[in-house]
């Protein structure tokens, strides 16, 4: 479904990603793992069309989406939940979802009631400003905003960062339902167990390169891989 070949991302003189290739099959899930600065965010931002100067090829289904702008990529069915969530803090929950609906254009949006049944916490807080939500509720809203565009592939950049175990459990179980409904996942994580709850295959990155690819459980169980690439 998604095929990334020979990706390279450069910021001025800093080469953040080089020669990275990976694939996600239909109804599949892949985790990109690695420590701070490994190049994980740069990879997924390139896929989502946020880094137009990235080199390499990105195909999604039968389409070559290399270099396509982010707004078009959303309409082709890829949605990104960014690391910093990037919500409009003075929009209510309801207004945030309405604004996301406007981005759908020719795709039919997922309705608010469907979103609220997935995240009942947001239904209770539908008239609250995004800025007044807890970190976990903001993460639910960022995921919901992406889901509104009815993606075939949902990209989650470090969803676990800063969240408590309890709320993280709620978010993970909703994402598992989304996965069961047929949405593919590309998950950027530093937390191996969170990644393993959402994907069974992983790509490990270190200093901009893909250094290992295989089942996440194998990476978790290998002292060698953990010592080499994780703290
Ligand atoms: P983290 O987990 O800390 O987000 P990451 O694995 O997602 O790290 P990236 O954010 O992709 O890694 O960063 C990879 C490299 O590119 C780092 O050396 C980083 O400092 C650099 N970098 C990222 N964004 C920029 C930018 N806008 N300008 C310059 N350098 C950047």
Give the predicted TM-score (pTM) of the model. Answer: 0.94
Of all protein residues, the one whose alpha carbon is nearest to atom 17 of ligand 1 is 37
**CA 222 to ligand 1 center in whole angstroms:** 26
DSSP β-ladder status, 209-215 and 14-24: unpaired
pLDDT band per the 50, 70, 90 thresholds, residue 224 = confident
State the Cα–Cα distance between residues 139 and 227, nearest whole angstrom. Answer: 30
State the Cα–Cα distance between residues 106 and 61, nearest whole angstrom. Answer: 18
Of all protein residues, the one whose alpha carbon is nearest to atom 25 of ligand 1 is 11
**CA 41 to ligand 1 center in whole angstroms:** 7
Query: Is the pLDDT reported for residue 66 higher than 80?
Result: yes
* Ordered domains of the chain (ranges, CATH): 2-229 (3.40.50.300)
State in Å, rounded, how far the first CA of the chain is from the last one.
Answer: 32
pLDDT in tens, 102-143: 877 767 788 889 999 999 999 999 999 999 999 999 999 999
pLDDT in tens, 182-222: 999 999 999 999 999 999 999 999 999 999 999 999 999 98
pLDDT in tens, 67-79: 999 999 998 999 9
């Amino acid at each position: 479904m998604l095929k990334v070949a020979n990706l390279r991302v450069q910021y001025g003189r800093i080469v953040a990603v080089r020669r990275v290739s990976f694939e996600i099959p239909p109804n599949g899930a892949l985790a990109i793992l690695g420590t701070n600065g490994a190049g994980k965010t740069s990879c997924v931002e390139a896929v989502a069309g946020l880094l137009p100067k990235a080199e390499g090829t990105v195909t999604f289904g039968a389409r070559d989406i290399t270099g396509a702008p982010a707004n078009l990529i959303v309409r082709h069915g890829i949605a990104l939940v960014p690391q910093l969530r990037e919500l409009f803090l003075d929009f209510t929950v309801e207004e945030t979802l309405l604004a996301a609906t406007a981005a759908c254009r020719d795709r039919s949006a997922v309705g608010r009631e469907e979103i609220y049944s997935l995240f009942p916490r947001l239904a209770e807080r539908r008239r609250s400003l995004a800025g007044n939500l807890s970190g976990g509720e903001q993460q639910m809203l960022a995921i919901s905003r992406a889901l509104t565009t009815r993606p075939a592939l949902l990209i989650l950049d470090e969803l676990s960062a800063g969240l408590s175990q309890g709320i993280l459990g709620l978010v993970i179980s909703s994402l598992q339902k989304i996965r069961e409904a047929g949405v593919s996942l590309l998950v950027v994580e530093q937390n191996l167990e969170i990644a393993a709850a959402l994907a069974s295959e992983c790509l490990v990155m270190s200093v901009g390169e893909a250094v290992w690819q295989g089942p996440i459980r194998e990476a978790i169980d290998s002292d060698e891989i953990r010592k080499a690439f994780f703290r």
